[in-house]
Each structure stands twice: as C-alpha cells, then as structure tokens.
C-alpha cells in the first residue's frame, strides 16, 4: 500500500490477508472464495457471521447485496441454501425461532397470525418493486444454479463435496429423513438503537419507530427481543423481504457518498432442522448473519453536520469498540500476558457479535478498500485494524457434554417435554443389584468378631467425636480471634474517621470564621474609603481656608476695636462737628458691617458643610453597625453548627464505647472457651486414668440395646451452660458416663 500524496513518513505498508481479490474479481468468484464455506457450515449446524468493514463509499453494501444484474453474496447464499434443501423443505409455520437458540411451537391461531403478517409484509411492496424483485430472483435462479458452481466432473449439488455431511445424514432412531425450515429477520443499529426493518411503518409523522432491546437467555446468549422472524419458502420471497428492509433502512447523502449507509444492518437466516415424521420435533438450529457495517468517516471530509454529525459519531464509536474487542482477543491469545477485559457490552454491535468471537460460530471479515488517494489515512487505519483481526485465532468450541440441544417451547413460552416411546425400563441400570453387592452380610461373623467390631466402632466414634470437638473449639477460637481483630480494626477505623471529621470540621469552621472576618473588615474598609472619597478635602485647601477664616476673624476684631474707638471719640467731643464725624463714621461702619456680614456668611457656609459631613459620618456609622449585626448573626449560626457537630462527635464517642464493650465481651468469651478447654483436658486425663472394668459377654443385640439405653438415659454434663450452643461436648460426656456404668 503506497502513499502518493505525502512525502514524509513510511511510504509503503505491507499487510497479510487470507485471500486478496482484485478489482477485476466477479461477484461469483468472490462468493466462491469467501462465503461458500460458511454457508456449508451453516447447513451442517454451525452458526456463521459475515460482515464487511471499510471506509465510506468503499462498496460494502454492493458486496453484500449487489445489483439486479450482479448479485452479491447474500442473494447467492440464499439461493444456495434453498437449492440444498429443495425437496426436503418443511412448508408449515408451526415451528418458529425463539430467543437465541430455541424453537417455539405455535398453535393454529398463531400460525394464521404469522401467515397474515407475512402476507401483509409482501403486499406492502408496490407493483414496480415486485417486478424488480422478480427480476432479481430470476437472475438468482439463472446465475446460481448448481451448474454454475461446479464443473462437469463435479456433482450437481454444490454442497456435495468431500468432508461435507448433507442434511440427509441427520436421521432419528426411526431412520427417517430430516426437513428444514428457513426463517429470516432484518434489523439495523442506528445511533445505538436497534430497529426492526421488517415492521410496518406508520404513515403519521409524529409516531416514531419502536426501539428493540437486546436481552440474554438462561445460557447467556444475546438476542433481540420482539424481532420479527418471517418464514420464507423460496429465494424470491427472501429477495422481496430484503427489498422491503432496504426501503426502511437509514440512508443519507454526504459529500463522499450519495447513498451512504447511516446504520449497521444485520440480515439473519435461521435454519431449523426437523424430523420427517407425522409429529416432527427439532433436531438443531443454525444461524447465518450478514452484517453491513456503516463506513468510518471523517466529518471534515464528508461535510457532516447536525443529524449526520451525530450519526457519524455513533458509527465511529461502535467501530472503535469493535476494534478494542478484537485487540483484546488478540492480547488474550498470548499466554505470557495477563488476560484483559473484552468490552463486548459497551456497544450493541459487539454484544450481538460476542458468540461468534468466543468460538460459538464461524466469522468472516470482508475488508473493502477505497482506492481514492483522498481517503488514504482512513484506508490505512482500516488496514491496520484488519491486520490485528487477521492475527486472532478463532477456535470453534465442540458440542461436547456441556452442549445443550435447542429447547422446544409451546405457544405460551413454557418448555415442552418429550418422552421416547421406544425406550423401555430394561434400558435403565439395575440399581438394586449394585446396592446389594455393596452391602456386607454380618451374620457370617462370630460373636467375638462382632464384639471386636463393636469395640473398634466405639473407639472410632469416640475418636471422631473428640476430633470434631477439638475442631469446633479451634474454629470457635479462630472465629473469636478474627472477630476481635475485626472489632479492633473497626474501632481504629472509626477513631481515625472521627479524628479526621473533627479536624476537617474545625478547619472548615476556622476557614469560614476567618473568611467572615476578612469580609467584614474589607466591607468596612470599602465603606470608609467611599465616605472619604465623597468628602475628601486636600490638606492644602483646608489650611488655606483656615487661614482665610483666621484673617477674617482678625479683621473683624480690628474693625470692632476701631468702632469702639470712634464711638468713644464721638461721645468725648460732643462738638458741632459731631454730625460730620458721625456721617464719616457711619460710612465706615457700613463698610465694616458689610465685611462682617460677608465673613459671617462664609463661616455659616463652612459650619453647614461640617454639619452635613457629620450627618453623613453618622449614617456610615449606622450602616457599619448594621453590618456588624449581620456578622454577629452569621457568627451565631456558625456557633450553632459547631454545637451540632460537637453533638455528632459525642454520638460517635458513644458508639466507640459500645464497640469497646463488645470487645470486652469477646475477651470474656475467649476466657470462657479457654476454661472449657481446660475442663476438657481434665476430663480427658480423668478418663485415661480410669481403670477399665471387665465387661460381661452378652449377645450382640443385648449389648447394642444396653449401649443405646445408657446413651439415652445419661444426662448432659454440667460444664456446658445455656449460653454456649455446643452439642458435641454433651455427646462426649454421655460416652464417658456409659463407659463408667459398664
């Protein structure tokens, strides 16, 4: 693969594939070399998956479906299947696919409903659509006859080759031939939603399509719930249904492709194998799926926006998750590396493909290449992805003991149990003979041997009970130690948590208190600054005004002195010239009074300004007092929150005290266990030193009766209290008491 546009980096890339088909390859040759083997495996009971991958406008849909003149692999596969089952086709509709691998037996009413659904679906096509599909099916029969697949030296059946088991070889116990029923479905994954392409769309614009859910059956296999399965009896019907699904599929025009697929479409063919008898039952189910993946694209090249941009994002995301799954499968094949998680459930597409990737069927990946130089980067990414997929080794799991055949369910979904009438009771294994062979006849033993056997059994019973008692004590001790350790860990964890809570709450409260203090200080400072800015007078102007006031006051005092002197002179003289002096003095007094009035007005003005400044300062002080009250209210709330937190801490301390009491209780229980163990040792020592008395020889039945009577009548030991629920020590005391009695 060469890069003709760029002059830097690696110019040639080499990739390896299972088979490479050039542009001159015909559809027939491509089908023979890629899909034919998977179709053969499908009719033999192996599930198959064929999916195309590539950039947009690379020919994926053409490879799957083709045209009316040049058919794709899907119509050829359909024709191959119907040609193979010709003459052995089951024409009724009373057996329908159910869930992932089961079959549902339909009632007569349900069969009529299926026939009505199929008739309505085929009738939805217009006359010209029917004519086109008829031409397509005629072309199918012309091009895909068995003579076109094989040469003159080969058999007429395209599937009759070496190592291929035809459908006739699957026979029942009655040596009857098998029949086959074909069901198909067609769905798409659009914007990570699953839609059924065979459902009848409503004519109203407001009604949306129904979204289907992906579920899992009891075996963990994924299936699409409520997906329509249509019974088909010929290639013509299948091509009509394919045409109907293509009409409902999501297509759009982009810069790179006029008919760009905006969804992943999945066309599934499910083949049911039935017995050829009056009451047929299912022998097997196989499925062949064709997935036409939407092409990966870059938005700057396709000029996508709006809905097209959303569609491209979902398409690229699902393809990216598919690449992650294949890369994880390749990594897990290496035994030296740690197995990684395979993200099958992150996308609807990979969730449906999971069985094929996990060895429950064959999978074939067809990589389509767009040779245009403008798509070099996207094509290179596709080739790298396909190179990783080529390295994945697919292992088909055999149908071993863990394989369960398809389950047959009734119309209500409940399984139908079938019994083989040819099976007889003689075929069952004789369990009575095996059980009698294992029993031992004790009547052939002598009396001494019976006594020895009884003594040995008693010793074994005593030893077993002692071992059980020791084991129980050991287990109780370990459980007590483990519980005590857990309590200590819990106490430590709670104490650490309480300390952390205390520290965090204290830090939070301190930070909030500091924040409030800083906010109050900042607010007061800002208010003071605003007041100062409003009533700010420079010091030079204030000094100048003050000097003017002082000069005026000195002038007023000087004029008052002059006025007093003049008045004294007038009183002292009393002469005729007093009128003249009075006139002159009056003139001077008028001038002095005017100057004094002007000075008084200036002083009054200054006093007024000072009073206004005092009033504004009082208002600012009042606002500061209100702000201080709000801060006090906030501080009060913080104090209440602090008290509440202290109460919480006190409750936690009480819980810690309860945990400590439990720890003390555990210590007391441990001391009780140790005392019981000491008593057990003392009992054992006492029983070991007790001399054995000679037992009278009696018959076997009398001896066993006395043993049972002594065991039942002996009371329980006093060493066990009601609080300790221990049944084994009481049995030990019973045995010792019986031994002493004998």
User: Beta 230-232 vs 178-190: how paired, if at all?
Assistant: antiparallel
Helix (H) or strand (E) holding 186: strand 178-190
Query: 25 among the known binding-site residues?
Result: no
Phi, psi (5° rounding) for residue 364? Answer: -130, 125
Query: 61 among the known binding-site residues?
Result: yes
Query: 709 among the known binding-site residues?
Result: no
As a whole number of angstroms, the distance between CA 239 and CA 235 comes to 6
Cα–Cα distances (Å) from 446 to 452, 453, 454, 456, 702, in that order, read 10, 10, 12, 15, 15
CB 729 within 8 A of CB 720: yes
Signed CA dihedral, 426, 432, 436, 437: sign only: positive
Using DSSP's 3-state secondary structure scheme, residue 126 falls into coil
Query: 104 among the known binding-site residues?
Result: no
Residue that is written with structure tokens 């050991």 in the block: 474
Query: 55 among the known binding-site residues?
Result: yes
Burial class of 357 by CB neighbour count within 10 A (0 to 12, 13 to 18, 19+): buried
As a whole number of angstroms, the distance between CA 349 and CA 568 comes to 124
**Any bridge partners for residue 179, and if so which?**
274
CB 363 within 8 A of CB 369: no
As a whole number of angstroms, the distance between CA 675 and CA 671 comes to 6
As a whole number of angstroms, the distance between CA 729 and CA 253 comes to 85
Write the DSSP symbol of residue 308: H
Q: Who's near 286: CB < 8 A, 6+ residues apart?
A: 42, 43, 44, 45, 46, 47, 48, 270, 271, 273
Residue that is written with structure tokens 């300390």 in the block: 499
Q: DSSP string spanning 469-506?
A: HHHHHHHHHHHHHHHHHHHHHHHHHHHHHHHHHHHHHH
**Any bridge partners for residue 95, and if so which?**
105
Query: 54 among the known binding-site residues?
Result: yes
Query: 587 among the known binding-site residues?
Result: no
CB 68 within 8 A of CB 135: yes
Query: 60 among the known binding-site residues?
Result: yes
308, two tokens = 């097209």
Q: DSSP string spanning 569-606?
A: HHHHH-STTHHHHHHHHHHHHHHHHHHHHHHHHHHHHH
Cα–Cα distances (Å) from 390 to 272, 320, 364, 366, 394, in that order, read 31, 17, 10, 11, 10
Burial class of 197 by CB neighbour count within 10 A (0 to 12, 13 to 18, 19+): buried
Residues in the chain: 742
Residues of the binding site for ATP: 54-61
Residues of the binding site: 54-61
């Amino acid at each position: 693969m060469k890069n003709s546009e760029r002059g830097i980096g690696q110019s040639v890339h080499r990739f390896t594939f299972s088979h490479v088909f050039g542009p001159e390859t015909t559809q027939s040759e491509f089908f023979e070399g890629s899909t034919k083997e998977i179709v053969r495996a499908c009719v033999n009971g192996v599930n198959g998956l064929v999916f195309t991958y590539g950039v947009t406008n690379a020919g994926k849909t053409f490879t799957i479906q083709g045209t009316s003149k040049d058919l794709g692999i899907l119509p050829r596969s359909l024709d191959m299947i119907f040609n193979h089952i010709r003459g052995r086709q089951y024409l009724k509709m009373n057996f329908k696919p159910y869930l992932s691998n089961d079959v549902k037996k339909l009632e007569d009413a349900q069969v009529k409903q299926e026939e009505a659904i199929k008739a309505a679906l085929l009738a939805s096509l217009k006359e010209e659509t029917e004519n086109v599909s008829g031409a397509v099916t005629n072309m199918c029969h012309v091009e895909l006859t068995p003579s076109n697949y094989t040469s003159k030296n080969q058999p007429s059946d395209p599937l009759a080759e070496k190592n291929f088991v035809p459908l006739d070889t699957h026979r029942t116990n009655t040596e009857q031939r098998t029949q086959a029923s074909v069901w198909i479905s067609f769905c798409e994954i659009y914007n990570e939603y699953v839609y059924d392409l065979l459902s009848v769309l409503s004519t109203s614009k407001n009604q949306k399509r129904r979204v289907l859910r992906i579920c899992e059956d009891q075996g963990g296999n994924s299936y699409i719930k409520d997906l329509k399965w249509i019974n088909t009896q010929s290639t013509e019907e299948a091509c009509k249904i394919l045409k109907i699904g293509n009409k409902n599929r999501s297509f759009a025009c982009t810069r790179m492709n006029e008919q760009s697929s905006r969804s992943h479409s999945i066309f599934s063919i499910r083949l049911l194998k039935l017995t050829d008898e009056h009451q047929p039952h299912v022998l097997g189910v196989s499925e062949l799926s064709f997935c036409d993946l939407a092409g990966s694209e870059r938005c700057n090249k396709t000029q996508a926006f709006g809905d097209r941009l959303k569609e491209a994002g979902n398409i690229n995301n699902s393809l990216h998750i598919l690449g992650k799954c294949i890369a994880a499968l390749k990594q897990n094949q290496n035994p030296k590396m740690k197995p990684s998680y395979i993200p099958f459930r992150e996308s609807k597409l990979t969730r449906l493909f999971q069985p094929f990737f996990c060895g429950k069927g064959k999978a074939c990946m067809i990589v389509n290449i767009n040779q245009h130089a403008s798509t070099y980067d996207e094509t290179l990414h596709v080739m790298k992805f396909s190179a990783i997929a080529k390295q994945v080794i697919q292992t088909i799991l055999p149908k071993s003991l863990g394989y369960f055949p398809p389950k047959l369910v009734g119309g209500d979904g409940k399984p139908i149990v079938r019994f083989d009438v040819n099976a007889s009771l003689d075929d069952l294994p004789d369990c009575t003979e095996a059980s009698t062979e294992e029993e031992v006849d004790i009547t052939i033993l002598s009396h001494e041997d019976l006594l020895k056997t009884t003594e040995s059994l008693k010793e074994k019973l005593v030893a077993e009970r002692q071992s059980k008692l020791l084991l129980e004590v050991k287990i109780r001790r370990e459980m007590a130690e483990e519980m005590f350790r857990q309590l200590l860990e819990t106490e430590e964890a709670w104490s650490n948590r309480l300390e952390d809570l205390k520290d965090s709450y204290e830090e939070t409260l301190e930070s909030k208190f500091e924040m409030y203090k800083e906010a109050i200080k900042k607010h007061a400072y800002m208010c003071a600054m605003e007041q100062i800015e409003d009533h700010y007078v420079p010091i030079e102007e204030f000094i100048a005004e003050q000097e003017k006031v002082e000069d005026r006051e000195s002038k007023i005092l000087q004029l008052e002195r002059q006025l007093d002197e003049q008045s004294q002179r007038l009183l002292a003289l009393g002469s005729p010239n007093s009128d003249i002096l009075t006139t002159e003095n009056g003139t001077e007094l008028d001038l002095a009074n005017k100057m004094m009035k002007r000075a008084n007005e200036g002083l009054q003005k200054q006093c007024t300004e000072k009073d206004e400044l005092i009033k504004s300062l009082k208002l600012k002080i009042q606002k500061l007092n209100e702000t201080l009250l709000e801060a006090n209210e906030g501080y009060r709330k913080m104090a209440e929150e602090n008290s509440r937190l202290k109460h919480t801490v006190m409750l936690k301390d009480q819980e810690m005290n309860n945990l400590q009491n439990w720890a003390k209780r555990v210590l007391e229980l441990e001391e009780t266990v140790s005392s019981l163990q000491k008593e057990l040792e003392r009992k054992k020592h006492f029983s070991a030193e007790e001399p054995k008395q000679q037992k009278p020889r009696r018959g076997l039945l009398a001896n066993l009766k006395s043993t049972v009577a002594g065991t039942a009548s002996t009371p329980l030991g006093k060493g066990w209290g009601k609080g300790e629920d221990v049944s084994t020590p009481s049995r030990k005391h019973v045995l010792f008491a019986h031994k002493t009695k004998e």
